[in-house]
Amino acid sequence: MALRTLESLGDLSGKRVIVRCDLNMPLQGGEITDDGRARASLPTLQALLEQNAKVIVISHLGRPKGEPNPEFSLAPAAERLAQLLDKDVKLAVDTVGESARSLVSELADGEVVVLENLRFNSGETSKDEAEREAFAQELAQLGDAYVSDGFGVVHRKQASVYELAKLLPSAAGLLVANEVEKLGRVVNDPEQPFTVVLGGSKVSDKLGVIQNLLPRVDRLVIGGGMLFTFLAAQGHAIGTSLLEADQLETVKGYLAEAAERGVELLLPTDINVAEKFAADAAHEIVPADAIESSSFGAEGIGLDIGPESEKAYAEAIRDSKTVFWNGPMGVFEFPEFASGTSAVAQALTAVDGLSVVGGGDSAAAIRTLGFADDEFGHVSTGGGASLELIEGKRLPGLEVLGW
């Protein structure tokens, strides 16, 4: 079965189309600090508006625990959408209540309304299927068709993602279709050489990715906090750096399998070691196999890869035709420990082929470090969803759309 796309819904002129977006954007003092997800939703919304559909946008924001909480209101998101679409966007003060029903009934062709945070209703994320179905039924009464365009939630069995798609004629939006196509190419049809770059804090978060991709990749590049478990598995002392002791045997298995398969597994040769975990901590570069030789001894903590490793990683990435990257190389939020992540991002922009940034912290990192999304082949809008798709898992929010 193929993923159902917008064309499958036919002429939507005058139809009420519920669009599940992912407007879960970071806020600071009520202001959006990264509007990447709102921008990513624009192609689908504009395509529907060009058809003169009546567009009803639904989304979540944060974790308000099933009840209204002004701190998690979608008001800033609705305001940003209005700016980006250059048109009036109304906001209902509830999800399926009087305000939502009233504003939807007043919608004219080519107009947009945003319903308040879906997670203000406990039915959205309930583990009770009947409760989710009841909430989905109420949402379905507001629309004639459903478009799934929140890739960041398609790995969740939630009312607005799964049950609602069963109740109305449904299809994937342009964002979701593009995510499936690009990530599908990484897993099923990567042009060689194929390099996977993994970072972030924990090996345990990446087990499925490593297991699924080791038989397919030419190179596996390791950075971030998870690298120290790899170094420890090789018998090196790592000071107070992050360690998942319960993953040491698993990592030893990966090292052996990579060698057996002829996969080039790149680990750093030098580390930026700090006195403590702090933005202003004293730090120095030491060999990766001699972390405790720094001035800080056994108390030193590795917070980034070193310059020698940056060059090696960048060269490996630029020499690739397909690159999938998920997870920063160091604590990029601290400027002194952002260099490794920046070097990897810079190299990805120079790939002569498909470069994919796998959402989550990686997408946040590239924007924090001043890179634009269009400098990369694809920037995923879903960290967890992109990882699960790369792991080869079936995602409920895609299966319900025929995938």
Distance between CA 197 and CA 220 in Å, rounded? 6
**Binding-site positions for (2R)-3-phosphoglycerate:** 37, 119, 156
Cis peptide before 68 (omega within 30 of 0): no
Q: Amino acid identity, residue 51?
A: Q
pLDDT in tens, 145-175: 999 999 999 999 999 999 999 999 999 999 9
The 8-class DSSP code of residue 160 comes to: I
Distances (CA, A) of 250 to 210, 242, 256: 11, 16, 10
Domain boundaries, the chain: 6-174, 183-391
Q: What percent of the chain has pLDDT over 70?
A: 100
What's residue 1's pLDDT? 57
Task: Answer whether 6-174 and 183-391 agree in fold.
Answer: yes
Residue keyed to tokens 């139809």: 15
pLDDT in tens, 258-302: 999 999 999 999 999 999 999 999 999 999 999 999 999 999 999
Flag whether pLDDT at 359 surpasses 80. Answer: no
Mean pLDDT of 187-197: 94
Flag whether pLDDT at 29 surpasses 90. Answer: no
What's residue 392's pLDDT? 87
**Binding-site positions for ATP:** 206, 302, 333, 359-362
Flag whether pLDDT at 383 surpasses 90. Answer: no
Q: How many residues does the chain have?
A: 403
pLDDT in tens, 120-140: 999 999 999 999 999 999 999
Flag whether pLDDT at 380 surpasses 60. Answer: yes
Query: pTM to 2 decimals?
Result: 0.89
Residue 31 host element (H or E): strand 31-32
Flag whether pLDDT at 207 surpasses 90. Answer: no
**Active-site residue set:** 37, 202, 360, 384
Instruction: Determine the CATH number of domain 6-174.
Output: 3.40.50.1260
Mean pLDDT of 247-261: 96
- Which residue, among 389, 336, 395, 384, has the nearest Cα to 362 in the 3D structure? 384
The 8-class DSSP code of residue 162 comes to: I
What's residue 315's pLDDT? 98
Q: What percent of the chain has pLDDT over 90?
A: 87
Distance between CA 249 and CA 229 in Å, rounded? 10
**Binding-site positions:** 22-24, 37, 60-63, 119, 156, 206, 302, 333, 359-362
Distance between CA 357 and CA 375 in Å, rounded? 11
CATH 3.40.50.1260 fits 183-391, yes or no: yes
The secondary structure of the chain in percent helix, strand, coil, rounded to multiples of 5, reads 45, 15, 40
Mean pLDDT of the chain: 95
Flag whether pLDDT at 371 surpasses 60. Answer: yes
Distance between CA 49 and CA 44 in Å, rounded? 9
Residue 236 · residue 292 · CB < 8 Å: no
Question: DSSP labels for 92-139?
Answer: -SSSSSHHHHHHHHHPPTT-EEE---GGGSTTTT-S-HHHHHHHHHHH
Tokens of 306: 């070193």
Sheet strand arrangement including 112-114: 89-91, 112-114, 54-58, 16-20, 145-148, 170-172
Distances (CA, A) of 179 to 50, 183, 256, 377: 22, 6, 32, 11
- Which residue, among 232, 264, 272, 238, has the nearest Cα to 251 in the 3D structure? 232
